Structures are given as structure tokens and as C-alpha cells.
Structure 1
Amino acid sequence: MYRTVFLKISFICFLFSFLACADIDKTEKLPYYNKPDFTPLFLKTTEEVNLKVTHQIADFSCVDQYGKTITQQDINGKIHIASFIFTSCGSICPTITKNMKLLQNEFKNDHNLVMLSYSVTPWIDDVERLKIYAQVNKIDAPNWHLLTGKKAEIYKLARQSYFAEEDLGFTKDSTQFLHTEHILLVDKNKRIRGIYNGTLELEAQQLVKDIKALEKE
């Protein structure tokens, strides 16, 4: 009798532990985003991902606040964050930068994470201007790059690769000014795994949690 009760209790404990683990796995597994409408795809296997997620961040070449050329080679095999700002912005950009600093505080010495802040006025934001902006805002993480380059390339990358704007960005005229509060989370295979409102601290805090979850995958 005692043996039967013991076995039942053991089975119940095992069941609860199994369900708890399954629930953790479910909540920590981030979705994939394959289209500009950001419909989440929750996929369980590598085979499913390779079959259903065809979108990846395209190749690029920009220059950061130190005059260093940053390309797709610098994000290969690493998680990266993308935001879009400009140094003369007096509205949402200071708040986005402030919230991005939460990431700097958490991941400053994380060699598996890269933070990219693309200037949407690259014809104004040259290397020297970006360097001053970094100094004023105390951006000193070696893995946070403020980027300038060719306007056409940055705008195409923002709209077609990162889906940075709320609507179908790549249908817009390439000359139309790009201004977005979105921050994008991209995995080591250059697939989009999250989109966040960079003006909200709670969203930035969630992004910190999601980065840590993604690092465990």
C-alpha cells in the first residue's frame, strides 16, 4: 500500500516537473518574423525554421563612430540589435538612445551581441558627429556601433531587411524620410526574432529578457 502511494506521489511530482519545464521552454522560445506584417511564427525544429523562414538581414557596409567599417561579417554568428536614429533628432531619438543604454549596461562585455544604431540622416551624421553624439550620451560599449553610410543603402536595409516601419516599408519611395521608434532583435542566423517600441522603457526591459532567452537557444 505504502509503495503504491509512494509511486503515485512520485509520478505526480514528475508530471508537474515535466509540465513546468515544458512551459518554460514554450515561453522562452521566441517567434520568427518572416514578413513586414510581423505575424509571429512559433517553430519547434530547425527543419521547420529552414523551410518556413526565408527572410534574413541583407549584406551591408557602414562606418561607425570610430571610423571603423562595419559589415555583415561583424554580425555573423552573433545576435544583434538594430535601431534607427539621427543626432539632430529632438523627439524620439534621445529616448531610444536612453533605453538602448539599458542594453549597454547589461551586455557591454558580451562578445556574442552587437548593437547597431543606423543614422537616418547619414549625409549629416558623419563619423565625427557620431563620435560626439556617443561622447555626449556616454555610449562607450565596444559592441555598440553608431553607423553612417550611403542613404540609399541604409534606407533599403531598414525597409526591406529590418521591416523597420509600421506599414509595408519597402513599398515607399526611397526618398521618403525614414523615422521609426522600432528596435529589432535579430538572431545569429540574421533572422528577425523581435520588434520593440524603443521609446518605452518596459519594452527595453523585455528586450533584455528576450536577448538572454535567445542566447540560450
Structure 2
Amino acid sequence: MSNKTNYSYVGIAFIILVFGIIFVPKIVDRITNEDITRNESRSDQANTKEKEVATSELAFLNINGEPKKVPDFSFVDQNGNQITNKDYEGKVYVVEFFFTTCPSICPKMNKNLVQIQNEFKEFADFGVASFTINPGHDTTEVLKVYADNYGITNPNWHLMTGDKDAIYELANIGFNLYTGENEEVAGGFEHSGNFALIDKNGFIRSRVVAGNPLIFYNGIISEAEQKDDEGQEQQITMLKEDIAQLLQE
């Protein structure tokens, strides 16, 4: 073998050695610390996946395999106008059952709803449907005073009164929100302190928590309180987030 050939091999070996010394550690270091561009891409994918999960978690309330829709109703509101479920078509709205002389949970519920009203005041497609469970006392005039006292200004917030049997059927069967008379409790009536959330097509919707639909939202505990005396956490923040999501659908 010629000296020239030997020099060529030596030169090649030297180049390989230099490459190994300079570049291999950098490659190993880059792999060990993960490629930044690849890592950001994974992060973006994860964020996208999280957003997809969040926007898909508002379930329908299914009864016998069918999504439950708000049944037809027709009552008179605080302004003396006849209001039906059709007036809420194309709107996201919250449903509650209450009565104006309620000495316990109703004031808390409606203060929370007023806060929600004020947060979504720029949205013409947001509303509230409040049904009195004491229509014998809660006339349109009484409801009007109540609305003014609480600062109810949203034109899509209707406080409704009408046939008592129809209201109780709407509550107990239409929404599965318990309502009843009980002379032994303060105020003479008892009812659920939960809110129902309705989408623009009239379907009852709710967030999925731990694989199960929440169904209804606790309307009694305020964001300021955070928890009640029994340690149950407030759900008003959750409700506001889900209203915002439905408004985008």
C-alpha cells in the first residue's frame, strides 16, 4: 500500500474523530433534552386536545336514549306578556323555580343569577326563565316589583306566573326539578335550588364530571362563598363557563 493511500485513510479517520468529538455530544444532548420545536408541537397538540375535550363535554340529558328537550309552556311574565318556550328559541338560557316570599334559598339563587346576567349583558341571545311556584301570590305586579328590587334588566329574563298545576308539572316532570307545597317548612313551599342550562335548540345540557353528566348546577352557593357549610363547592363559575361555550355553538 502506498504512503499516499495511508495518508488518505489517516485523513478520513481524523475527520471522523473530529466529527465524533464535536457533533455527537451535541446530537445526544439535543435528544436528551428533547428537540424544542418538536416539544412545542407536542404541547400545541396537547393544548388542542384539551380544548377539544373541553368543548365536547357539554352533554345532553338523555331520557330513554333521546336528548331531553324543554317541553312546551305558556305563562305570563312580570310585564304582562304571554311567554312561551318559542320565545327562547335561538337563545341560551338558565331555568329556575322560585317564589318571591321565599325566606331561604331563593334570594341567594337570584343574586347569583343577577351576577350571571350582568356578566353576559352584551349577549342578546342569553336569557333566564324563572317560574314561580306560588302563583296565587306572585301576580305579574308582584313579580315586577321583585324584578326591579333585584336589578333584573335583561329583556330575556322572564319571571313567569300562571296555572299552578302546569307549573308543577313543568318543574317535576319537564325538568325533574323537585317542587312541592309543605306547610311545615319556612315559606310553605320546598323546591330544588338547582339551575337547568338550555341550549339554543331547547335541549337541556350539562357538563360531564368524572365521566358523568352533572345534569343541573347548584344555584345557591355564590362564587364569593366558594363552599357551603357542608363543604360543597360552588358551581356558578362552572355554569358561566358552560353558558359561554353554548353561546358559541
Q: How many angstroms apart in 2 are the aligned matches of 1:102 and 1:140? A: 11
Q: Percent identity?
A: 35
Q: Contact 2:177–2:194 at 8 Å: present in 1 too?
A: yes
2:238 is equivalent to residue 206 of structure 1: yes
2:195 is equivalent to residue 183 of structure 1: yes
Match of 2:41 in 1: 14
Q: What is the identity, as a one-letter code, of the residue corresponding to 1:78?
A: K
Higher relative contact order (CA 8 A, sep 6+): 1
Alignment of 1:21-170 (within 5 A): 21-29=48-56, 30-35=58-63, 52-165=65-178
Q: What is the identity, as a one-letter code, of the residue corresponding to 1:72?
A: N
Select between 140-149 and 175-184 the one with higher mean Cα deviation.
175-184
Q: How many angstroms apart in 1 are the aligned matches of 2:242 and 2:55? A: 8
In the TM superposition, residue 175 of structure 1 has moved relative to its aligned partner by: 7.2
Select between 151-160 and 58-67 the one with higher mean Cα deviation.
151-160
In the TM superposition, residue 52 of structure 1 has moved relative to its aligned partner by: 4.3
Q: What is the identity, as a one-letter code, of the residue corresponding to 2:84?
A: T
Q: Encode CA deviations 1:105-129: one digit per residue, 9 max, x unaligned.
A: 1123421112011101112111000
Q: How many angstroms apart in 2 are the aligned matches of 1:175 and 1:61? A: 22
In the TM superposition, residue 54 of structure 1 has moved relative to its aligned partner by: 3.0
TM-score normalised according to structure 2 size: 0.70
Q: What is the identity, as a one-letter code, of the residue corresponding to 2:107?
A: P
Find the structure with the greater CA-based Rg: 2
In the TM superposition, residue 144 of structure 1 has moved relative to its aligned partner by: 1.1
Unmatched tracts of structure 2, length 5 or more = 1-22, 183-188, 207-215, 224-234
Select between 109-118 and 56-65 the one with higher mean Cα deviation.
109-118
Q: Contact 2:127–2:154 at 8 Å: present in 1 too?
A: no
Q: Encode CA deviations 1:7-63: one digit per residue, 9 max, x unaligned.
A: x5444322221121111221233122224xxxxxxxxxxxxxxx9433211011011
Q: What is the identity, as a one-letter code, of the residue corresponding to 1:208?
A: K
Aligned pair count reads 194
